[in-house]
Amino acid sequence: MSAPHELTLILTLAGGLSAALVLGFITQKLRLSPLVGYLLAGMIVGPHSPGFVADAATARQCAEIGVILLMFGVGLHFHLKDLLAVRAIALSGALAQIALTTLASMGILSLFGFSPLAGAVFGMSISVASTVVLTRVLSDNHALHTRTGHVALGWLVVEDLFTILLLVLLPAVLSPGGNFWTALGLTLLKLAALSAFTLVVGQKLIPIFLGYVARSGARDLFTLAVIALALGIAVAAALFFDASMALGAFLAGMVVGQSDFSARAAAEALPLRDAFAVLFFVSVGMLFDPVTLLSDWPLMLVTLGIIILIKPLAALIMTTAFKQPLRLSLSVAVALGQIGEFSFILAALGISEGLFGAAVNNAIIPAAIISITLNPLLYRRIKGMARWLEKHGPAFLSQSPLPPQSLPAEDAATPRVVVVGYGPVGRNLCRILIHNGITPVVVENNIDTARMLREEGRPAVHGDAGQAEVLREAGLEHAEALLLTTPSIPAREVTPIARSLNSGIRILVHTAFVNEARALRKMGVTEVFSGEREVALTMSEFLLRDLGAPDAYVQTELARLREKLD
């Protein structure tokens, strides 16, 4: 059953996301990665299965939005200094891994009758990993913002740049009269111009623009501004600089990440990012035609072997050559053992240039689906692999030290208190904390207040405390206490989010009404200070003393009132 043209987008989103929800939930209950469920959902709503058929072209465009928002989010937390810190291993490692994978593919595919050039293009197409899969696996295992994540993402950026060059240069090499050096020079100039424009010009203009929107006080306008920036710069990168939209979004995220809007921008883009990223896996599943396995299974098995064995082995050799810790080397190697969006694009280019036939696509698509399915499962086995290699592996591997798995001593020993709101109450609480040797982290929705605190050298995060990403940026996961200092903060929304991030945290809340205080205590708030309660007690005490009541009577009445209010 196909969708009416005017309802294509709606039915594709409804059918794809609903199938992904059901199958993702089932696979999660079976202790498998939800990614497996999303891929199965794509197969069910795809053109090769009976019943409802989602529109493949619409699904691919929605998936591209997911890639853009995902890379924008990654860029928010990936500063330029992190990229420069791993440039040597990322550049050398990625290029060497691509070369080794390509050479292995040329040798193996020659047995299938492929020419050396066809084998090289095929090898390069499966040597690049999927952006979505890699970032999702690292994020699910809390490794995205670690040294492992920095190396893997730096590696991914190099692969992205290599793919851009290949997409431009391959037609110039294969077409009669094509000028290789002109194409290379123009591409490098455009990439340099994109980087300069985004990181230099954008660093001046983007924070000014976001600051102007933030001062409007309209949350929906700020959300629109963040999404418009991510999508706009990504599209501009593709249209004007011939770069990938993922690279443009990544650079835009890096610029915003260095501003005062990092946490708030991440929180605003998060819901859309997750929904559209799911559609990437659905769109991959839609490509799979089980019938092709009957004829192309030998090539598919060879392709899968190169992806999950040769590629990770090449990455492991390179990271070990740079004397990286064993667990980091294994993590990077396993995370790269899959393929995705760019592999399909490069394979399609090889087919259009007549290097090989459609059988290559029939091999790459199921190999991609299997590698994407296996990747999260293999990543969870890294600790066991590391222990086995330390005991039974070569000496150069077993001697590699393990990376630190805990916070630095100074961070672990310092009590953290997150103070939400910097009004009269918040300022006074911060003063008391600082006087007692505790530096609070302030979460403030007013950008000017957050900037003032940062200029004074005090940690502050701009954003809405009702969003997990903002609280995470403030360090709530390792904090001892959370203080909500004004009744305008929606404590009912913040409390369960805070508990999910840090189950043992003490939460102190300032609220307006007594009834609200009772409900919050039931939700697990440590202590609630109600404005209505305190005003009732203060006015009662003043009235009793003004009437000349004895002190004992005043204390009795106040105790009775406290009991009633509590």
User: What's at 252, amino acid-wise?
Assistant: A
Say how far apart CA 318 and CA 96 lie, in whole Å: 7
126 located within any domain = yes
Provide the residue count of the chain: 566
Say how far apart CA 206 and CA 224 lie, in whole Å: 14
End position of a domain, from candidates 375, 398, 421: 398
Question: Would you say 240 and 65 are in contact if contact means Cβ atoms under 8 Å apart?
Answer: no
Question: Would you say 565 and 538 are in contact if contact means Cβ atoms under 8 Å apart?
Answer: no
- Give the residue-averaged pLDDT of 476-485: 90
| Confidence grade of residue 175 (pLDDT, cut at 50, 70, 90) | low
End-to-end CA distance of the chain: 61
DSSP state of 499: H
Say how far apart CA 530 and CA 222 lie, in whole Å: 32
Are 452 and 333 within one domain? no
| Confidence grade of residue 304 (pLDDT, cut at 50, 70, 90) | very high
Looking at residue 405, its pLDDT comes to: 38
Question: Would you say 266 and 77 are in contact if contact means Cβ atoms under 8 Å apart?
Answer: yes
Say how far apart CA 516 and CA 490 lie, in whole Å: 11
Instruction: Report pTM.
Output: 0.71
Are 88 and 175 within one domain? yes
Looking at residue 70, its pLDDT comes to: 80
| Confidence grade of residue 401 (pLDDT, cut at 50, 70, 90) | very low
| Confidence grade of residue 334 (pLDDT, cut at 50, 70, 90) | very high
Find the farthest-apart pair of alpha carbons in the chain and give their distance in angstroms, rounded: 106
Are 498 and 374 within one domain? no
Say how far apart CA 173 and CA 561 lie, in whole Å: 87
End position of a domain, from candidates 398, 429, 450: 398
- Give the residue-averaged pLDDT of 537-548: 80
Looking at residue 176, its pLDDT comes to: 63
Looking at residue 299, its pLDDT comes to: 92
Are 130 and 95 within one domain? yes
| CATH code for the domain of 434 | 3.40.50.720
Residue at token pair 């036939």: 357
Looking at residue 397, its pLDDT comes to: 59
End position of a domain, from candidates 398, 423, 439: 398
Say how far apart CA 458 and CA 476 lie, in whole Å: 16
Q: For the segment 74-122, what is each residue's pLDDT rounded down to a tens digit?
A: 788 777 777 788 888 999 999 999 999 999 999 999 998 899 999 999 9
Looking at residue 3, its pLDDT comes to: 52
| Separation of CA 54 from chain center | 27
403 located within any domain = no
Quick count: other Cβ atoms within 10 Å of Cβ 311? 26
CA angle 356, 362, 367 (to 5 degrees): 115
Tokens representing residue 115 in the block: 């020419």
Long-range CB contacts (< 8 A, 24+ apart) of 508-514? Answer: 508/481, 508/482, 508/483, 508/484, 509/484, 510/425, 510/484, 510/485, 510/486, 511/487, 512/487, 514/565
Say how far apart CA 363 and CA 357 lie, in whole Å: 11
| Confidence grade of residue 464 (pLDDT, cut at 50, 70, 90) | confident
Quick count: other Cβ atoms within 10 Å of Cβ 359? 15
Looking at residue 55, its pLDDT comes to: 87
For residue 411, pLDDT over 90 is answered with no
- Give the residue-averaged pLDDT of 18-30: 92
Looking at residue 492, its pLDDT comes to: 86
**In a 10 Å sphere around its CB, with 0-12 CB exposed, 13-18 middle and 19+ buried, how is residue 46 labelled?**
buried
Are 134 and 241 within one domain? yes
CA-atom Rg of the chain in angstroms: 28
Report the DSSP beta bridge partners of residue 420: 443, 484
- Give the residue-averaged pLDDT of 374-381: 90
| Separation of CA 74 from chain center | 5
- Residue 547 vs residues 347, 557, 559, 560, 562: alpha-carbon distances, Å: 90, 13, 18, 18, 20
Looking at residue 23, its pLDDT comes to: 94
Are 215 and 309 within one domain? yes
522 located within any domain = yes
Are 214 and 102 within one domain? yes
404 located within any domain = no
What's the mean per-residue pLDDT of the chain?
84
Question: Would you say 105 and 126 are in contact if contact means Cβ atoms under 8 Å apart?
Answer: yes
Residue at token pair 């790459």: 364
Higher pLDDT, 416 or 307: 307
Helix (H, G, I), strand (E, B) or coil at 440: coil
Q: For the segment 33-58, what is each residue's pLDDT rounded down to a tens digit?
A: 788 889 899 989 988 888 788 888 88
DSSP state of 343: H
For residue 557, pLDDT over 90 is answered with no
417 located within any domain = yes
* Number of domains, the chain: 2
| CATH code for the domain of 266 | 1.20.1530.20
Are 390 and 491 within one domain? no
Question: Would you say 260 and 451 are in contact if contact means Cβ atoms under 8 Å apart?
Answer: yes
Say how far apart CA 59 and CA 9 lie, in whole Å: 8
Tokens representing residue 477 in the block: 């996961």
DSSP state of 218: -
- Give the residue-averaged pLDDT of 521-537: 81
Are 306 and 450 within one domain? no
413 located within any domain = yes
Looking at residue 457, its pLDDT comes to: 87
Handedness of CA 198, 200, 205, 211 (dihedral sign): positive
269 located within any domain = yes
Are 365 and 511 within one domain? no
For residue 59, pLDDT over 50 is answered with yes
Say how far apart CA 231 and CA 358 lie, in whole Å: 32
Are 451 and 370 within one domain? no
Are 241 and 263 within one domain? yes
Residue 518 belongs to what domain range? 409-565
- Give the residue-averaged pLDDT of 53-81: 83
For residue 548, pLDDT over 90 is answered with no
